[in-house]
Amino acid sequence: MKKTIILLMLLIGISTIKADPITIRISTDQTDLVLQTGKNGRLFQLYLGEKFSSPSDYTNIPLKEKTDGMSWETYPVSGADSYFEPAFSIEHNDGNLTSILKYVSHTSKKIDNNVEETIITLRDDLYPVEVKLYYTTFAKENVIKSWTEIVHKEKKAVSIKQYASSMLYFRNSSYHLTEFSGDWANEVRESTQQLNFGKKILDTKLGARANMFVSPFFTVGLDQAARENEGVVLMGTLAWTGNFRFTFEVDNLDNLRVISGINPEASHYVLEPNEVFKTPEFIFTLSNQGKGQGSRNLHRWARKYQLKDGEGDRLSLLNNWEATYFDFDETKLAGLMKEAKDLGVDMFLLDDGWFGNKYPRHSDTQGLGDWQVTKNKLPNGVPGLVKTAKEAGVKFGIWVEPEMVNSKSELYEKHPDWVIQLPNREPYYFRNQLVLDLSNPKVQDHAFSVIDNLMTENPDIAYFKWDCNSPITNIYSPYLKDKQNNLYIEYVKGLYNVLDRIKAKYPNLPMMLCSGGGGRSDYDALQYFTEFWCSDNTDPIERIFIQWGYSQFFPAKAMAAHVTSWNKDTSVKFRTDVAMMCKLGFDINIKELSKDDQTFCKDAVKNYNNLKEVIYDGDIYRLASPYEGNHASVMYVDEPKDKAVLYVYDIFPRYADNLKNLKLQGLDKNKSYRVKEINLMPGKTSKLSCNEKTFSGEYLMKVGLDLFTKDRLSSRILEITAVGL
């Protein structure tokens, strides 16, 4: 009897002992994301913010685990007890729409001294559904990547209706979202709004040219609108070359949820048993020194870990698009190649209009898809052009658009079933073209062959400009049959298959990502591309804004900028000074320029070559915003703080402008720096009183220099060099 009582007491004791919560700390040198299991076995966000010096402090934070619909669950599922936007939603085989995910296990492993990966497994205890949360941290760069893998073992396929890459919670006095939206030739226009109760969604359903209207990145200022050098900001971006969605939801208690992932619109994905669904990576940094530091974090991370050839050099170029459009022949191109050499750039880039025989590509109405050179236009073929470029002393690059087709093309005539189009409706054409069905492996082979055939025939091709001028319209894949819901996603996966094959076979081939201007700029594509075309709009005034916008997330070497004839009211110097802020190219008839302008351009290329390491790999400091006045200024400083390049623009200054000194940033206050104006017009000397003088870093940063003027559309570039170098 006594024994039974003791046993009973023991059993009662055991059942009332609660398992200790599991705490998972995911950190960079600056940020802590701490997750913890609740009493119900589910996983919650305990903390996200500036790193704590003592982890024991976390024990004082109350876990928001109450199942009153407002908990901070890490990956909440729809249908059970979540009152707000879920991260995940599924329809099981029995028609049930709920799942509850409980913590199962987690692992953390160091990839190297800087990179650590944490994997957390969650499982539904009623249905065989498992979700793995992945977090990769980059300690020094203060960047975190998070994504999810979903798998199930139900008898038949399930439909997953939401599948976020990540969900983050914030509790601040106010939230201020900066979005980057616009249109063709008007990309990444910044606008900021305060978030109040309810949802703000940034999304796209354009499929291929996905970010024609809005880019896959954002900034949230916490407690105040994001500022350049102060305050806490979240800067996030989704690495996905397709439909994305960011949902910002403020709840009844003024918490903010930030949910990032593929846009599930028209994509209720059919997931087969045991098939792993991997969401794209959401990449973010939490800076407590404003968006300036946030950008520097992302740039450093991108160069080291993400961007194709992120730490390598780039090729300057002369492109023929605006100089000739479709109207060229071998003689004209040979002339341009010589001009490229004369100008001092590394490469000549041949744009659209070189292919098609039955339907020669004389305009954008036909020929797309027929990647054979137009024989009567270019009788010596691409090999002839490569040879002429070699003789001229420049490398040769070429434009392609492998994902697309004109209905007036041999490809379309041969393979109408390779095209995304509705079987029962008239097609809607965007730029007279249709999108090829990259979910189909045969179409992937075709897209790969566009590059592979050219490279096989011409191993000396040094560069590709990969364009994508249409969004996906007429959404229907003849290949996917009853899985039409998977098309937007399979398209992107198909594209990555093609790009993976190209990267594997031609690992050192630089490529520019272009999409009717800046219709694609995301960090998954940028694993395959060394740079992207920011916009077809090369009016330097507009470019100051566009490049300002992209510079929030991308390093200068990833952003292609060309000197063109857009806005002839601006001088060639002004246009060049703006393009030199990024990866420099020219797309202009050099011969049509005045002698002085031609000499200026050649000198500018030399200056650029001298400074490109700082421009490409230096830290960016955005000193004066074009959004806040009539001037703009940006500078780059190399890592040892020995060399800097400073760009100063007067856009439309007013007579009444009270010009203030421009205070530099990012220098070493204890070093002395020589300041020198470069990129002067031939025969002109600098009017700057600081030119060829030496200042301490402290002076340059505390007092600054008198660099702005009231001259409309004028610009200056300064080279700043630590004395003694």
Q: Is 403 in the site for ligand GLA (CB under 6 A)?
A: no
Closest approach of ligand GLA to the CB of residue 536, in Å: 5
Site for ligand GLA in 303-342 (CB under 6 A): 321
451, containing H or E segment: helix 441-457
Q: Is 351 in the site for ligand GLA (CB under 6 A)?
A: yes
Which residue number, 538 or 714, has a Cβ lying nearer to ligand GLA? 538
Site for ligand GLA in 357-376 (CB under 6 A): 364
CA distance linking residue 107 with residue 593, whole number of Å: 62
Q: Is 32 in the site for ligand GLA (CB under 6 A)?
A: no
Which residue number, 518 or 697, has a Cβ lying nearer to ligand GLA? 518
CA distance linking residue 631 with residue 615, whole number of Å: 20
Choose, by CB under 6 A, the member of 467, 522, 650, 677 that binds ligand GLA.
467
CA distance linking residue 566 with residue 576, whole number of Å: 12
CA distance linking residue 256 with residue 166, whole number of Å: 14
Which residue number, 247 or 319, has a Cβ lying nearer to ligand GLA? 319
Question: E strands along 139-241, which residues?
Answer: 143-152, 158-163, 166-170, 175-183, 186-194, 198-203, 217-222, 232-239
Closest approach of ligand GLA to the CB of residue 704, in Å: 38
Which residue number, 310 or 517, has a Cβ lying nearer to ligand GLA? 517
Size, binding site for ligand GLA by CB under 6 A: 12
- The catalytically annotated residue of 351, 536, 638, 642 is 536
CA distance linking residue 385 with residue 553, whole number of Å: 37
Inter-CA distances, 36 with 63, 74, 88, Å: 8, 9, 19
Inter-CA distances, 134 with 54, 119, 280, Å: 24, 5, 11
Pair of tokens at residue 328: 């060229």
Residues whose CB falls within 8 Å of the CB of residue 712, separated by 6 or more in sequence, listed in order:
650, 651, 652, 653
Which residue number, 399 or 488, has a Cβ lying nearer to ligand GLA? 399
Return the range that interacts with ligand GLA (CB under 6 A); candidates 142-150, 301-309, 511-519, 651-659: 511-519
Q: Is 470 in the site for ligand GLA (CB under 6 A)?
A: no
Which residue number, 351 or 719, has a Cβ lying nearer to ligand GLA? 351
CA distance linking residue 421 with residue 405, whole number of Å: 12
Q: Is 516 in the site for ligand GLA (CB under 6 A)?
A: yes
Return the range that interacts with ligand GLA (CB under 6 A); candidates 16-24, 36-44, 102-110, 512-520: 512-520
Q: Is 514 in the site for ligand GLA (CB under 6 A)?
A: yes
Residue 603: active-site member: no
Closest approach of ligand GLA to the CB of residue 215, in Å: 16
Q: Is 402 in the site for ligand GLA (CB under 6 A)?
A: no
CA distance linking residue 493 with residue 241, whole number of Å: 9
Choose, by CB under 6 A, the member of 73, 249, 536, 617 that binds ligand GLA.
536
Choose, by CB under 6 A, the member of 76, 221, 231, 517 that binds ligand GLA.
517
Q: Is 352 in the site for ligand GLA (CB under 6 A)?
A: yes
CA distance linking residue 543 with residue 545, whole number of Å: 5
Which residue number, 369 or 516, has a Cβ lying nearer to ligand GLA? 516
Which residue number, 399 or 412, has a Cβ lying nearer to ligand GLA? 399
Closest approach of ligand GLA to the CB of residue 84, in Å: 40
Residue 94: active-site member: no
Closest CA to 651 of 561, 518, 548: 548
Closest CA to 529 of 312, 204, 285, 208: 312
Residues whose CB falls within 8 Å of the CB of residue 704, separated by 6 or more in sequence, listed in order:
660, 661, 662, 663, 664
- The catalytically annotated residue of 352, 467, 539, 650 is 467
Give the strand order in the sheet containing 269-271.
Answer: 88-91, 158-163, 269-271
Burial of 388 (0-12, 13-18, 19+ CB in 10 A): buried
Partners of 719 in the β-ladder? 645, 676
Using CB atoms, what's the residue nearest to ligand GLA?
352
Choose, by CB under 6 A, the member of 295, 306, 366, 469 that binds ligand GLA.
469
14, containing H or E segment: helix 2-16
Residues with a catalytic annotation lie at 467, 536
Contacting positions for ligand GLA (CB under 6 A): 321, 351-352, 364, 399, 467, 469, 514, 516-517, 533, 536
